[in-house]
Amino acid sequence: MKWSPEYATGVPEIDEQHQSLFEWFDQLDHAAADHRMMTATYTLTRLMQYTRVHFAAEEALMTRIAYPEREAHRAEHETFRLRLRELQTAAMTQDIAVATISLLRDWLIKHITISDMKYAAFSKSLTPKATKPAR
């Protein structure tokens, strides 16, 4: 799972965090493919901690700009957190399937390219346009 410029929201802090999420997912993908249960469990724990920080940053931004779809977006975050917890529990006792990680990765990409792009566009619409100097 590699970061691509098409995932950029234009909000530097959020884009940096998304890039880190991609890195965590890449590590998780490798651990699952190699059947390294302890590494997968550790990586999932770190991924869960990081998503907590990232989602809090996004939700604070949405609150600051009074984003009208904030609650629906927050609910998407909660769904993802629950899925990560389920996967972490499974990883403690069994190999986690690469297919499951793929579903989470697909969710993340869809979330970034649809939901995150919506609040980024909303945020940009609030930024005053630069006026051209009179000639």
Domain ranges, ordered by start, for the chain: 11-124
pTM across the whole model = 0.82
Q: Which CATH architecture has domain 11-124?
A: Up-down Bundle (1.20)
Copy the structure tokens of residue 2: 């590699």
pLDDT score at 128: 64
Q: Determine contact, residues 120/14, Cβ cutoff 8 Å.
A: yes
pLDDT score at 63: 96
Copy the structure tokens of residue 98: 């690469």
58-86: pLDDT as tens digits: 999 999 999 999 999 999 999 999 988 88
Query: How many alpha carbons fall within 13 Å on the CB side of residue 109?
Result: 13
pLDDT score at 25: 87
- Average pLDDT score, the chain: 87
Provide the pLDDT confidence category of residue 122 given band limits of 50, 70 and 90.
Answer: very high
Q: How does DSSP classify residue 13?
A: H
N- to C-terminal Cα separation, the chain: 50
Alpha-carbon torsion (40, 83, 109, 63), positive or negative: negative
Q: How far apart are CA 71 and CA 113, in angstroms?
A: 18
